[in-house]
């Protein structure tokens, strides 16, 4: 028997890779996929252009705000019951 999906797990995996929490939750799937693709494209671009990983304060602040915003969003979506629940847990 599968357990219901946990909103906190969605938050944790969304922090690790923005968008993955949405896919885990089963909500806003295309948004989650878009976030993952854009993050991977950004990493590839930074490496191929030899920009390196020097991070400025504004970039760190904007990434932090983005991660917090998407993580809070996916948490509230699941808490309010809009996330998918495995079929066996709905009974």
Does position 52 have pLDDT exceeding 80, yes or no?
Answer: no
User: Are the C-beta atoms of 77 and 4 separated by less than 8 Å?
Assistant: no
pLDDT tens-digit series, residues 7-50: 899 889 988 888 999 999 888 889 889 888 888 887 777 777 66
Q: What is the pLDDT of residue 26?
A: 87
Q: Domains of the chain: which residue ranges?
A: 7-84
The pTM for the full model equals 0.69
43 to 12, 39, 46, 50, 51: CA distances (angstroms) = 20, 6, 5, 11, 10
The Cβ of residue 85 has, within 10 Å, a number of other Cβ atoms equal to 15
């Amino acid at each position: 028997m599968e357990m219901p999906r946990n909103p906190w797990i969605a938050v944790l995996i969304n922090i690790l890779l923005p968008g993955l929490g949405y896919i885990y939750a089963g909500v806003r799937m295309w948004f989650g996929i878009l976030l993952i693709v854009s993050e991977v494209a950004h990493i590839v671009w930074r490496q191929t252009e030899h920009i390196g990983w020097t991070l400025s304060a504004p970039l760190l602040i904007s990434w932090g705000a983005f991660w917090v915003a998407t993580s809070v969003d996916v948490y509230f979506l699941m808490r309010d019951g809009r996330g998918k629940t495995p079929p066996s847990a709905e009974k």
